[in-house]
Structure 1
Amino acid sequence: MPASDDELTVMANEELDAACAMPFVEVRKITPWGDSYEGFAPSGRTVEVERRYLWAVEPEGGVIVEVEVRDRAARTGAEARALLTAAD
């Protein structure tokens, strides 16, 4: 079983992969946007997952995708971030 922080980091990276899987043209249509939901970590503990799609200043027209996974009870969390561009 991974340590708590490792588990949250793995979840954040997996959620980021899912958030970035949408075609760029579709990502642009929903930016700026964000949502959050309650889920379960592999260990069974309750976590909050938040996704954010934000306009990037550079390169112009790019989108920053951020995912944060938080365990509010333990006051821990992990974040993953990617920059998407039309070339991706």
Structure 2
Amino acid sequence: MSLDEDLAAAAEDELARALTLGWRQLVEVTPWGDTFEGTTPGGRDACFERAYMWDTEAGGDIRVEVTVYEPRAYESGVRRAATIVRDGSAE
């Protein structure tokens, strides 16, 4: 698996996990973000960055962004994003 494929797989998995939290769970803590170290599906060390922010206005839809990158190589990372709409569904 290439580096790009590995980072993309990790980002897609992390985004899926991030979307398991619903709007009601996130409304009290948005905006919020965190970065942690982990391992990609291919076994590479990577940094996982997750951020929840208001999509357009406070109290509305929540945008979820995930970036996965090798340590010290943020610019070469892979970013995935989705929106948790106020009615509780994800786009």
- TM over 0.5, yes or no? yes
Aligned runs of 1:9-24 on 2, under 5 Å? 9-24=8-23
> How large is the Cα RMSD of the aligned pairs?
1.7
Aligned runs of 1:1-88 on 2, under 5 Å? 2-57=1-56, 61-72=60-71, 76-87=76-87, 88=89
Q: How far, CA to CA, are the matches of 1:61 and 1:8 in structure 2? A: 30
The alpha-carbon deviation at position 56 of structure 1 amounts to 1.1
Structure 2 residue identity aligned to 1:61: G
Structure 1 residue identity aligned to 2:48: V
Q: How far, CA to CA, are the matches of 1:42 and 1:86 in structure 2? A: 32
Q: How far, CA to CA, are the matches of 1:34 and 1:3 in structure 2? A: 28
Structure (1 or 2) with the greater strand fraction = 1
Distance 1:73 1:61, change over 3 A: closer
Q: Which stretches in structure 2 are left out of the alignment for 5+ residues? A: none
Q: How far, CA to CA, are the matches of 1:12 and 1:31 in structure 2? A: 20
Q: Which stretches in structure 1 are left out of the alignment for 5+ residues? A: none
The alpha-carbon deviation at position 17 of structure 1 amounts to 0.6
* Identity among equivalent pairs (%): 34
Structure 2 residue identity aligned to 1:85: V
TM-score (norm 1): 0.87
Runs of 4 or more consecutive aligned structure 1 residues displaced over 6 Å after TM superposition:
none
**Does structure 1 retain, via aligned residues, the 8 Å contact 2:33–2:51?**
yes
